[in-house]
Amino acid sequence: MKIDVLTLFPEMFVPVKTSMLGKAEEKGILEIRLTDIRDFSNNKHKKTDDYPFGGGGGMVMMPDPIFGALEHIGAKGKKIIYMSPRGKVLDEEKVKELSQLDDLVILCGHYEGVDQRVLDYWEAEEVSIGDYVLTGGELPAMVLIDSVARLLPGVLGNENSAMEESIYSGLLEHPQYTQPREYEGMPVPEVLLNGNHKLIEEWKFRQALRLTKARRPEMFEAFIADRERFTKAEKKIIDEVLSYGDEVLKDDAE
Ligand code: ADE
């Protein structure tokens, strides 16, 4: 997958050149190309922004440098995302949709945003990473890139990791434990140590249900809505969790 990022601050993109994503680039699974919008300013001071027509605070990024950068990278016909708190909030469904593309262009805005004509002409889709405002689109772009990249085959060490995870299956993830078996008087739940895979799977399912019911009730309701898709054993666990009160996060139920 090839991702073009248009930004005034290419030097910010260290995190997506490091760790798992850095390795993905080395393996040729992912290519992240950074383009500095300032390089496409025709102004002698390399100016990229100006005061908004109609007044108001802040500055607006002018269309010409962004048009120049988009033309230079060959953005015509590619999916263009503009990171903006005005956009629809990113979720795993959107991430999955974007991860199927061969090419993606991400435009990062700064100040009060970009001239609307950029978005209209290039048919950019606005995407937000949450209902809070950041100083620019760079951190949101990195969040988007990370979430998309981890779904590309070969990026995660364990091919199953992305699929197994909770948002994917519609539940929050069960708690995880590793060595030692007892730490500072806190034992690992017995069921995880006894090697009975059926009991272990049931425990994981029950824990995921309990957490989801307590923390994300709307997600829990959506998950259990279609009862017929569950096995008899699963239905029994669901009914058990439904019978708990709201104090489900007590750590005793096994
Ligand atoms: N730019 C500033 N805030 C943002 C947000 N929450 N999501 C996406 N882009 C942004």
The DSSP secondary structure of 158-210, one letter per residue, reads: STTHHHHSHHHHTSPPPP---S-SEETTEEPPGGGGS--HHHHHHHHHHHHHH
Q: Is 139 in the pocket of ligand 1 (CB under 6 A)?
A: no
pLDDT of residue 158: 66
What pLDDT, on a 0 to 100 scale, did the predictor assign at position 191? Answer: 98
Q: Domain 165-243: which topology?
A: Trp Operon Repressor; Chain A (1.10.1270)
Per-residue confidence (pLDDT) for residue 169, from 0 to 100: 82
Distance CA 28, CA 35 (A): 19
The amino acid sitting at 113 is G
Annotated domain spans of the chain: 2-149, 165-243
Give dist(CA 48, CA 14) in Å, integer.
23
CA of 9 to the centre of ligand 1 (A): 15
To test ligand 1's pocket by mutation, which of 8, 60, 81, 83 has the most ligand atoms within 8 angstroms of CB? 83
b/e sequence 42-72, b meaning 16+ C-beta within 10 Å = eeeeeebbeeeeeeeeeebbbbebbbbbbee
Same fold, 2-149 and 165-243: no
Q: Could you please state the CATH topology (level 3) that the domain comprising 2-149 is classified under.
A: Alpha/beta knot (3.40.1280)
Give, for 24, the enclosing helix (H) or strand (E). Answer: helix 19-26
pTM above 0.85, yes or no: yes
Helix, strand, coil shares, percent, the chain, to 5: 45, 15, 40
Q: What is the pLDDT along the chain (254 residues), one digit of tens a residue?
A: 999 999 999 999 999 999 999 999 999 999 999 999 999 999 999 999 999 999 999 999 999 999 999 999 999 999 999 999 999 999 999 999 999 999 999 999 987 899 999 999 999 999 999 999 999 999 999 999 999 999 999 998 765 565 555 555 899 999 999 999 999 999 999 999 999 999 999 999 999 999 999 999 999 999 999 999 999 999 999 999 999 986 656 544 44
* pLDDT of amino acid 254: 47
Distance 141 CA to ligand 1 centre (A): 9
